[in-house]
A and B are shown apart, each in its own frame.
Chain A
Amino acid sequence: MSPELSYAYYPGCSGLSTSKDYEISTRAVCRALGIKLQEIPDWSCCGSTPAHTVDHVFSAALSARNLSLAEQMGSDTVITPCPSCLTNLKVAAHRMEQEPAFQQEVNRHLQEPCVNTVQVKSVLQALIQDLGPEAIAKQVEKPLSGLKIAPYYGCIMNRPPEVMDFDDPENPVAMDEILRGLGAEVLPYPLKVECCGASYGVARKDVVMQLSGKLLDLADSLGADAIATACPLCQMNLDLRQDQINAALKRSFRLPVFYYTQLMGLAFGLEEKDLLLNKLNVPAGPALAKMQQAAEAAAEQDAQTKEQ
């Protein structure tokens, strides 16, 4: 394991609230892997979708304030768990690099100008590229054998490829690789990058019911025990709104929706305080019990074959 991995860290607002479980498990997993996260002091909101729907300079300025703070820390790379933050930070950095006039305009609105020297990555990208799948697999104490997972990446972590510059935009595999290293069975899931309904849950709930419903339906029909995700908004739509989806579509899905970091922590043998599985709306218990049974049955069979 490379002992020197250290990053500026941008948690994102939802990590303090609705995706606290993602935030806590991300930090715990990084700690277990020896990755140092230095939180950007006094970071502010990236503006998420609402900002870029109003004005692009505005959105980039909200992001660039944070990039500038990371520069002041002397850091060369900032990582974030949230794809929405990731997109805003990356779009701002990318456009400032492509268009010097745009950078100048953005900087006009900042207290400390952004030089645009830091690289922006997702935590997932840092894990798979900088640390590597072997180092992750080595940490596994309790393999997730027998757990069938539909890996769902969400729409913006890898798109558009010119800006996001990571993994395949139609069929990303980074999370698949990590989950497989944890011992789980990763299902081929063709809707990996399809949109879940994004932030329309409040204003246009009907849209989320249809789009997230489709994602649950596919995972269910593939025989998944659970879905793994890397996005707070996707997780909320699929998990917290699962009962609403069942009511709207007259279905009866019971699929737990984990953050992939929770699954990593589980396989690493971390405790509940580091995983916060109790925050999931659809309980993880049944899927994990099934996994346990499968593991015991396999162990028994193993013992029998050895005896013979």
Chain B
Amino acid sequence: MDVLKLDSGYDAAFVEAVMNESGQDPFACYQCGNCTAGCPYTFVYDLPVHQIMRLLQAGHKGRILQSHSLWLCATCESCTTRCPNNIDVARIMDVLRHMAGREGMITEKQVKQFNDSFLDSVKKHGRVFEFGTLVKYIARSGRFWSDADLGPKVMRKGKIAPRPHDIKGKDEVARIFHSVLGDGKK
């Protein structure tokens, strides 16, 4: 594991922004490690979640926003539920991910591409069209589909709808996309 150097590079504006956007006080964290102990994703994290909390206290923006952990957190709410100081850690993780996204620091491209494909479908139809999402993701990521074996299973059983369900209010939904996120930004 990396030894964290915390003595330099405090970014006060960053810490304040995280506090404002999450409504949480990271300084309430006393590094007990409960969050990490219960986090099912620690095995794939480059920074365990309690270290992200420590780096946040130390204002190390760059190191945090570059981490893969932000894009692998599943918002399972284990950390939030188990933090003895009632910090909504999952919400902090979500806010850090928003910031990383806004700054274009996307360390798990495929995760982002999948999410974008999902949202494109919602924007277009008002509801997600799972089949279309998959097709779009495969095109976007340029990846060989590692789930090709599932295709026949899903098709044979009629487990995936072959056509989208467009709703009447789909323009209203698309307007939410434009109005909150602005055009083209996700």
A-B interaction: yes
Assess whether A53 is in contact with B40, with CB atoms less than 8 Å apart.
Answer: no
Residues of chain B within 8 A of A111, CB atoms compared? 169, 172, 175
Assess whether B94 is in contact with A18, with CB atoms less than 8 Å apart.
Answer: no
Interface of chain B: mostly helix, strand, loop or mixed? helix
How far in angstroms is the closest Cβ of chain A from B108?
A: 7
Cβ of A110 within 8 Å of any chain B Cβ, yes or no, is yes
State A156–B161 Cα separation when bound (angstroms).
Answer: 26
Assess whether A199 is in contact with B159, with CB atoms less than 8 Å apart.
Answer: no
Interface of chain B residues 155 through 186 with chain A (CB within 8 A): 157-161, 165, 167-170, 172-173, 175-177, 179-181, 186
Q: Given A16-B127, A109-B176, A240-B159, are A195 and B78 also a contact pair (CB < 8 Å)?
A: yes
State A160–B76 Cα separation when bound (angstroms).
Answer: 9
Residues of chain B within 8 A of A115, CB atoms compared? none
Of A13, A62, A159, A211, the contact of B173 (CB 8 Å cutoff): A62
A200-216 interface bits toward B, Cβ cutoff 8 Å, 1 = contact, 0 = none: 11111111001100000
Q: Given A201-B147, A203-B114, A281-B157, are A18 and B130 also a contact pair (CB < 8 Å)?
A: yes
Q: How many chain A residues have a CB neighbour from B under 8 Å?
A: 60
Residues of chain A within 8 A of B94, CB atoms compared? 52-53, 56
Of A14, A109, A161, the contact of B130 (CB 8 Å cutoff): A14
Most buried by A among B101, B127, B137: B127
Q: Given A18-B159, A156-B77, A204-B108, are A42 and B101 also a contact pair (CB < 8 Å)?
A: no
Q: Could you count the A-B residue pairs with CB atoms below 8 Å apart for me: how many are there?
A: 175
Assess whether B122 is in contact with A47, with CB atoms less than 8 Å apart.
Answer: yes
Assess whether A195 is in contact with B74, with CB atoms less than 8 Å apart.
Answer: yes
State A55–B167 Cα separation when bound (angstroms).
Answer: 23
Cβ of B146 within 8 Å of any chain A Cβ, yes or no, is yes
Assess whether A159 is in contact with B80, with CB atoms less than 8 Å apart.
Answer: yes
Assess whether B180 is in contact with A45, with CB atoms less than 8 Å apart.
Answer: no
Assess whether A65 is in contact with B157, with CB atoms less than 8 Å apart.
Answer: no
How far in angstroms is the closest Cβ of chain B from A71?
A: 15
Residues of B within 8 A of A (CB): 23, 40-41, 43-44, 72, 74-78, 80-81, 88, 90, 94-95, 97-98, 101, 108, 110-111, 113-116, 118-119, 122, 126-131, 134, 137, 141, 146-147, 149-150, 153-154, 157-161, 165, 167-170, 172-173, 175-177, 179-181, 186
6 A-B residue contacts at CB 8 Å? Answer: A14-B130, A160-B81, A195-B78, A202-B114, A204-B44, A240-B154
